Amino acid sequence: MPPPADIVKVAIEWPGAFPKLMEIDQKKPLSAIIKEVCDGWSLANHEYFALQHADSSNFYITEKNRNEIKNGTILRLTTSPAQNAQQLHERIQSSSMDAKLEALKDLASLSRDVTFAQEFINLDGISLLTQMVESGTERYQKLQKIMKPCFGDMLSFTLTAFVELMDHGIVSWDTFSVAFIKKIASFVNKSAIDVSILQRSLAILESMVLNSHDLYQKVAQEITIGQLIPHLQGTEQEIQTYTIAVINALFLKAPDERRQEMANILAQKQLRSIILTHVIRAQRAINNEMAHQLYVLQVLTFNLLEDRMMTKMDPQDQAQRDIIFELRRIAFDAESEPNNSSGSMEKRKSMYTRDYKKLGFINHVNPAMDFTQTPPGMLALDNMLYFAKHHQDAYIRIVLENSSREDKHECPFGRSSIELTKMLCEILKVGELRKYTCFPHGCDA
């Protein structure tokens, strides 16, 4: 007969003893099972013990997750989460640097477990870690030169534990002080810092920005785009990924009027060229997380075009009409003044109509009417003007070549540009970010 469904066969380890093979009845309270295991090894005070997975996760077994135990699972009898949290809370305050370092290393590992995390947080453990970050670095400043590896590891484990504890969503991000934010930002702003410290500091800043409007404002005061850019020029893809994640977070949470300003700064800092050189064309494959963050950055920047995409041209707006005049001037009258008024009014109107036809507009008399459809709206005209100004020779050649072809072979510049812009807006999903509230690190849009 097959064993009852509520019975699972497991092996249980205990340091210094042979593992026990045991049948666990899932209908029995977990505390009763732990007592039975402790009695088998003559261990008193079973309430101070717990079971955890013996694999790399080391996660505690609880009443909530015990049903995940399968036949053949290897478990370990260990100190209970409450006891472990209390002991580590005391050990990380040790006056011995070695003892403190070892305790922080253990804390960084155990904090991944939500059961342990809850117990440690109940002891006000988060506050203790933030105090260590704020003041501990100064306290050991004199020791840093002679104990630099130890100091770097200690700070790295402290920040790792903090990140793991906060990732469980038990504590609100709004509780942190300006001093703590400044300290984390200082690690990012340093030109030379341990990679693990930098990575965790970037992760903390990203979470602060995404999870709290108040913290966004404070972080934005401490971190500039210019200070983040150098981290993209290194060789560590993980650092590059978290750097772009912070840029995305700042971009996403910025007020609408601030986003265009940020985009201009990114352009001035040649972010696109830096990403192409140091990320996309680097001699290594782009991992999934980096690909996700690059996608988010692309979506955020493309969505700045939404306003222009949805703006109809006003045929009565002289400034907007001057853009069309400029397209005509560059193509057919590059050496003339844009406001050349020679000739009769009728003659000039006839000339303009002829030229607008050559430019490929549908409405030869008033080409402004071609830009009243949204999308692509004024964005199409912006693209045409950019191409005409920055690639003038190619622009003139395209217009002149197409204006001399037979109608059946024509590829009119004006109509083609408008349709191409509209098609690109659809492919690149310009404006569709509105249905998302955020792009969390490691999640799909």
What does the pLDDT read at residue 347? 80
Residue 56: predicted pLDDT: 79
78, β-bridge pairs: 50
pLDDT, residue 335, reads: 44
Q: Please say whether the beta carbons of 43 and 29 come within 8 A.
A: no
End-to-end CA gap in the chain: 49
* The pLDDT of residue 437: 46
Domain map (residue ranges) of the chain: 7-79, 81-171, 202-308, 318-334+342-428
- Name the CATH architecture for the domain at 7-79: Roll (3.10)
Instruction: Copy the structure tokens of residue 147.
Output: 């104990």
Cβ atoms of 367 and 353 within 8 Å: the answer is no
Task: Sort 409 into a burial class: Cβ within 10 Å, 0-12 / 13-18 / 19+.
Answer: exposed
Q: What is the largest CA-CA distance in the chain?
A: 111
Mean pLDDT by 10 residues, the chain (445 residues): 79 93 94 95 95 90 94 95 97 92 95 97 96 71 53 90 97 93 93 90 96 94 92 94 96 90 91 94 92 93 92 92 94 60 72 90 93 95 96 92 68 92 93 59 51
8 A C-beta contact, residue 241 and residue 289: yes
Predicted confidence at residue 439, as pLDDT, reads: 55
Quick check: helix, strand or coil at residue 245?
helix
pLDDT at res. 256: 85
